């Protein structure tokens, strides 16, 4: 719902809202503000990523494999695989030293 498309009922509810006295609530300290985390980091179930429509080329056999089970949702499954790969590559490998470019070429 956009701000310009508010129903008359909702507008009436908004206008009838009474401000509460919050003067007795202390302001948050800089430390408290620094410790705040977005809700999707505290509870991953709250995370709803923004979807972007793209056009990309995928090998025909790969696409057919994902579409092959006859179920809907092949794009969702492809996205899940891409997300898992993104997370795996962006997560630090604890206990493993990163290879330098010289070591990779050996």
Weakest-pLDDT range from 6-15, 50-59, 85-94? 85-94
What is the average pLDDT across 33-58? 83
pTM of the model: 0.46
Give residue 87's Cα distance to chain centre.
12
Q: Can you give the pLDDT at residue 74?
A: 93
- Residue 74: helix, strand or coil by DSSP? helix
Q: At what angle do helices 74-90 and 60-67 cross, to 10 degrees?
A: 110
Q: Can you give the pLDDT at residue 17?
A: 81
What are the boundaries of each domain within the chain? 52-90
Q: Classify the C-alpha dihedral 53-54-57-58 as positive or negative.
A: negative
26 within 8 A of 32, measured Cβ to Cβ: no
The counts of H helices and E strands in the chain are 6, 0
Residue at token pair 């092949």: 74
Q: Can you give the pLDDT at residue 31?
A: 92
What is the average pLDDT across 47-59? 90
| Best-predicted range by mean pLDDT (41-45, 72-76, 88-92) | 72-76
């Amino acid at each position: 719902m956009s701000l310009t498309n508010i129903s008359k009922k909702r507008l009436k509810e908004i206008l009838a809202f009474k401000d509460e006295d919050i003067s007795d609530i202390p302001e948050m300290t800089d430390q408290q503000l620094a410790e705040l985390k977005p809700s999707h980091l505290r509870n991953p179930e709250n995370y709803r990523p923004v979807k972007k429509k793209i056009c990309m080329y995928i090998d025909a056999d790969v696409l057919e494999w994902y579409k092959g089970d006859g179920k809907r949702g092949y794009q969702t499954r492809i996205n899940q695989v891409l997300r898992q790969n993104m997370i795996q590559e962006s997560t630090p490998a604890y206990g493993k030293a990163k290879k330098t470019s010289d070591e990779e070429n050996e």
